[in-house]
Chain A
Amino acid sequence: MGLFDRHAGLLEAYRDVRTTGADPFQIRMERVLSPTEAIINGRKMLLVGTNNYFGLTFDPSCMEAAIEAIRAEGTGTTGSRIANGSYSEHVLLEQEIAEFYGKKHCMVFTTGYQANLGVISTLVGQGDHLLIDADSHASIYDACKMTQAEVVRFKHNDPSSLESRLRRLGDKPGNRLVILEGIYSMLGDSAPLREFVDVCKKYGAYVLVDEAHSLGALGETGRGLCESTGVLDDCHFIVGTFSKTLGAIGGYCVSNDPDFDILRVTVRSYMFTASLPPSIVASVRQALRVVKARPELRKQLWDNVATLYDGLSAQGFKLGPEHGPVVGVHLPDRMTAVGFWRAMLDAGIYVNVAVPPATPNGVSLLRCSVCAVHTREQLEHMIEVMTGIGRQLGVISGTPKLRVVAGSR
């Protein structure tokens, strides 16, 4: 058996996807013009699939901070913080994030993926119990493969399903750690966090919440679902990323646990990879200041979410269950999703296509992510284009239907 034979099934599915004439997994942005526009295939495209929720990748103050940091400290750290030492700015960034959450400790990672992978797989070990939502991100599933703890899945966003699993553990020894996400990345839905926290308290389980897609978007001051549901103090660990709302790359974990810093010499994805370069640290520190100083970006984001979600819903598209900065559009199958995606690209709009096995319950989706700096005209144009394609492909019927959708934030 050849090394690649085991991927034969996937190869076949991938070939199917590429028969549409474009490869959604190898899109090349020839030139990125702004948070909402890029040149792809020689044409200017509207970008609605970038996770750039506040549009901060082109914020002048963040860009200046990064440029200044390169001039002052160079392009890279060329080593890990354990082996080669930390820069002052790494430590300052950690202090600022800890302060933002009102937690005592923060550790910064080189990517959000590494934050989840390292923290989750290290917090629990032999004899412990890790309970994860069935729709968890790949970084959480990968952490499960690395830990010696027993891993059990519970039904997506279902506190009673978690409760039955915690109850079955009975008086078995070992810590219980429950992993939740603020906003789920495929359908844009939020966890019923308060209910989950109540269950965790009842059974003495630790709670870790990944706020990757909710940082900035949720909560009075943008701290995420923990803040908007009022359970910041009950969440033992909050993980997040710099690569979405903060417009750069990197990950973090905050906690009040007095022994938290031991993770710096136990989490391998922290210890054995190069630390964030000065430019990234500087732009992230500035982006965090922008998030604090400009709450209007959050309002703009949710106004845009309402425009896109309600507009598509009124045309009869089947969407994720609630308003969210990610708007997932359900399509009947993989080929329709890829065909729809290709037609959007031809019409000058870039979104993401998400097909099994990357999606929950085997659904095929167009995944749109909304930006605070999208204009209303851009989004209305997108709804028109999608409506046209949807009718041609028979995904929606000709007549729009009116449906009232409860907003949630």
Chain B
Amino acid sequence: MPDPGTGEPLLRTAHQLIVENDDIASTLELPRLASRLDVIREICRHLAPYQAGERPIVGATVIAKDLTIDSLAIMDMVMELEDSFDVSIPMNVVAEIHTVDQLADTILDLRAKR
């Protein structure tokens, strides 16, 4: 069914639902109200399989150096994070990111600019 206002189909993704329907927003909190902790937690969840030995993954972990992840897998992880937090991180920006903290800050900055 098209939207009477814009003529566009009323099929919405979850992200759009949050914007358009505040009743549902409470059940879809993560993308909307992501805190820094949420973002870090999500990054660490993606990086856990690449942990090297017993060394914990922390904010200062250098992703490409301290972990066993390769550059292609980093780019694939970024693609997943983009969708989790509804932002796009251009490849040249990804190239400048080294630590978990920097990745989290980039995501939060881009969210703030939306």
Question: Is A231 part of the contact surface with B, judged by Cβ < 8 Å?
Answer: no
Task: Report the bound CA distance from A165 to B110 in whole Å.
Answer: 13
- Stretch in B36-44, B52-60, B79-87, B98-106 with 4+ CB within 8 Å of A: B79-87
Number of A-B residue pairs at CB separation under 8 A: 43
Are A356's CB and B70's CB within 8 A?
yes
User: Using a CB-CB cutoff of 8 Å, which residues 352-370 of chain A contact chain B?
Assistant: 356-357, 360-362
Residues A144 and B79 in contact, CB atoms below 8 Å apart: no
- 29 A-B contacts (beta carbon < 8 Å): A144-B91, A150-B90, A150-B92, A151-B90, A151-B92, A152-B82, A152-B88, A152-B90, A152-B91, A153-B75, A153-B79, A155-B79, A164-B13, A164-B15, A164-B86, A165-B82, A168-B87, A168-B88, A168-B114, A356-B70, A356-B72, A357-B70, A357-B72, A360-B72, A361-B72, A361-B76, A362-B70, A362-B72, A362-B73
Q: Is A232 an interface residue (CB 8 A)?
A: no
Name the residue on B nearest A155 (C-beta).
B79
Q: B71 contacts the other chain (Cβ, under 8 Å)? A: yes
Please indicate the chain A residues that have their CB under 8 angstroms from the CB of B75 in the complex. 134, 153
Pick the residue among B76, B83, B91 that contacts A164 (CB under 8 A).
B83
Q: Which of A142-157 contact B (CB under 8 A)?
A: 144, 150-155
Contacts of B76 in A (CB 8 A): 134, 361
Give B contacts to A, CB under 8 Å.
13, 15, 70-73, 75-76, 79, 82-83, 86-92, 114
Q: Is the interface of B mostly helix, strand, loop or mixed?
A: helix
Extra 5 A-B pairs, beta carbons < 8 Å, given A151-B92, A155-B79, A164-B15 = A152-B90, A153-B91, A154-B79, A164-B83, A165-B82
Q: Which residues of the partner chain A approach B79 to less than 8 Å between Cβ atoms?
A: 134, 153-155, 161
Q: Is A169 an interface residue (CB 8 A)?
A: yes
Q: In the complex, what distance in Å separates the CA atom of A164 from the CA atom of B114? A: 14
List which A315-347 residues lie within 8 A (CB) of chain B: none
Give the Cβ gap from A149 to chain B, nearest Cβ, in Å: 9
- Given A134-B79, A153-B79: A165 in contact with B72 (beta carbons within 8 A): no
Q: CA–CA, A361 to B74, complex, Å?
A: 11
Q: Which residues of B contact A155 (CB under 8 A)?
A: 79
CB-nearest residue of chain B to A163? B13
B43: shortest Cβ distance to chain A, in Å? Answer: 18
Instruction: Report the nearest B residue to A170, measured CB to CB.
Output: B114
Minimal Cβ-Cβ distance residue in B for A131: B88
